[in-house]
Structure 1
Amino acid sequence: MTELLIIKPSSLGDIVHALQVATSLKAQRPDLRISWIAREIFAPLVHACAAVDHVYTFERKGGLSGFSRLMRELRKTKFDYVFDMQGLLRTGLMASRSVAQRKVGRWDSREFAGLFYDEKIALPPAGEGAHAIDILLQFCPILGARPELAGDLVFRASETLHPGFAPSAASGKLRPPVLMFPDSRRAEKKWGGFLQLTQHLLFGDRLHRRVIWAGDKYIPDREGLPGDRFLNLTGNTGLVSLPELIRRSDWVVSNDSGPMHLGAALGVKTLGIFGPTDPARYGPYPLTRPTNLVVRAPALSLISAKEVYGRMQAAELRLAQSGGQ
């Protein structure tokens, strides 16, 4: 058994990318036992991933005593490899304190983290402008694996879902819901058109859709949306439930955020709304997949709900004509 430690404490989108790479590594190297260091807020999701065997919890606000406690626990295991996929000072220190034959870090590590590695991964073929996943895939050749995604990202069963995610209503005519994530931790990434897009889908569409809003922060909606086809779960969405919520949805529509990356990773039709960040580097992966869409403008206020709705309709028509989803 080959022992691998992955250091990727945060954030949600970055962790989803790294979980895809871990899944690919395990698909190509079944002898791997993968351990992971994750922040306490993300540790349950990492633990739920079938590719991960053990999770070490990093308490970000635990101070020096919490960090020392984590390092003592970490040093009980001798690893064959340590992959620091974060590349910051604190994760470099984690790598330095681990016991391992080879310690490998990112080519673009910062804050002097590179001082703690035996080697760094190479640049991907696309160079510095490569997608975040393509950068992480360069860890694969260290283990003799191909730098490409392989295997399906699978999560262990989570808590019971809200009845709104039932396959169909009593009429038997409702499609799986359009799942929206209206919030973003950064104001410049937060699009303001989710209510208008919801209205287009509920009132201007012949498909008798359902729309569900989700996320960890409550976002108020507006009265007048039909209660039998609209559900607001914002502020009441558990992180561990996200994979199953997404898997049961027809679409994921999101700002540039972690749920968008999870939607693409699970193969659900995904539309990401982008302003300042570059979708070539941070968009739903891969952008060449017909079910991964991006709407982008220099300022998010320039993107209309009608434009996003039109892109969704056009994509569904293309997929229907090609025999896709």
Structure 2
Amino acid sequence: MTHDPAQSLLIAPPPPPRNLLVVRLTALGDIVQSLQIIQSVARQWPGCRITWVVRDTFAPLVEAAPFVHHVIAYRRKAGWRGLLETIRQIRRERFDMVWDMHGLIRPAFMTLAARSPQKWGRKSSKGLRGLSYNRFVPTPAGPPPHHAMTVHQQFLSTAGLDTTIDIPLPLKPISLTGQLDDDWKPFFNNDSKRDSSPLFVMFTDSSAANKMWNGYEALTRLIWVNYPDSRVVWCGLKPLPPPPPRCAAGPLP
């Protein structure tokens, strides 16, 4: 019997799960937006225990979210060994529901391996990826491309939840000192002179040319208008554009 993805869109919203697995491995911006979605989930399903699978590079960010109860760090650089290690960790628990908010082959494989009666994925997932899910989250209305936040909000609406995004996103303090080159440590270290000085960090990289944004300089100047004593850092793995005066710029460690 073949599975018709359209039929899954007509199913009534499920009861609140007690144990939710979120699969979102990368990238930084999408993880931040997914965190905002899951923050809304935690507010509306307060009794739900949330586990998150994420690439080890981004694990400290997800661990800083007070509403995420457990983080499984996927060691991508370990190859198949890292993937199998992650799958073993996933299968140690039973989940009421899995949300694959990523939609690529590795996250789909992790979703397929999870012990859960409900495995949700994006309707845009095709081929072998689509076989991992038994419920599909619809794509947003209107012509593509769609903003990642709009795509992720479809998980909320499919679950029968309010799609309002809570702002701000509260995070526990994250220590960066051990991950920085020596040249950057003095800039990020808190001392008596800088404790009250706001720090803004902008990640200027993008995975695709059509996602590049040319508004970093204007945003930086706007920050200085509103926060004259602030510090601004532009970070990226790719060559950075010349920053405006007073703005530190450099590659990520």
Q: 2:233 aligns with which of 197, 204, 213?
A: 213
Structure 2, unaligned stretches of length 5 or more?
1-16, 178-187
CA deviation vs aligned residue, 1:253-273 (integer Å, no higher than 9, x gap)? xxxxxxxxxxxxxxxxxxxxx
Over 3 Å counting, the alpha-carbon distance change for 1:220 and 1:35 in structure 2 is closer
Q: 2:121 aligns with which of 105, 111, 114?
A: 105
Over 3 Å counting, the alpha-carbon distance change for 1:72 and 1:126 in structure 2 is same
Q: 1:119 aligns with which of 127, 132, 135?
A: 135
For 1:47 and 1:60, the matched residues in 2 are separated by 18
Structure 1, unaligned stretches of length 5 or more?
169-175, 238-325
Matched, 1:69 2:85: yes
Deviation at 1:212, TM superposition (A): 2.3
Deviation at 1:123, TM superposition (A): 2.8
For 1:14 and 1:81, the matched residues in 2 are separated by 21
1:126-141, aligned counterparts within 5 Å? 126=142, 128-141=144-157
Q: Counterpart amino acid of 1:93? A: F
Aligned to 2:195: 166
Over 3 Å counting, the alpha-carbon distance change for 1:162 and 1:219 in structure 2 is farther
Counterpart contact for 2:201–2:235, Cα < 8 Å: no
133-142 vs 53-62, which moves further? 133-142
Secondary structure of the residue aligned to 1:41 is helix
CA deviation vs aligned residue, 1:14-60 (integer Å, no higher than 9, x gap)? 11111110001111110111111101111111111112111111111
For 1:211 and 1:116, the matched residues in 2 are separated by 45
Over 3 Å counting, the alpha-carbon distance change for 1:75 and 1:124 in structure 2 is same
Secondary structure of the residue aligned to 1:100 is coil
Deviation at 1:142, TM superposition (A): 4.3
Deviation at 1:191, TM superposition (A): 4.9
Matched, 1:50 2:66: yes
TM-align CA RMSD: 3.7
Over 3 Å counting, the alpha-carbon distance change for 1:118 and 1:210 in structure 2 is closer
Aligned to 2:181: none
Over 3 Å counting, the alpha-carbon distance change for 1:38 and 1:220 in structure 2 is closer
CA deviation vs aligned residue, 1:82-129 (integer Å, no higher than 9, x gap)? 001111111111111000010010011145311110010123344644
TM-score (norm 2): 0.72
CA deviation vs aligned residue, 1:274-314 (integer Å, no higher than 9, x gap)? xxxxxxxxxxxxxxxxxxxxxxxxxxxxxxxxxxxxxxxxx
Counterpart contact for 1:182–1:191, Cα < 8 Å: no
Counterpart contact for 2:204–2:236, Cα < 8 Å: no
Secondary structure of the residue aligned to 1:35 is strand
Q: Counterpart amino acid of 1:106? A: R
Matched, 1:32 2:61: no
Q: 2:102 aligns with which of 75, 86, 89?
A: 86
Secondary structure of the residue aligned to 1:79 is coil
Deviation at 1:210, TM superposition (A): 4.6
1:270-309, aligned counterparts within 5 Å? none
Aligned to 2:8: none
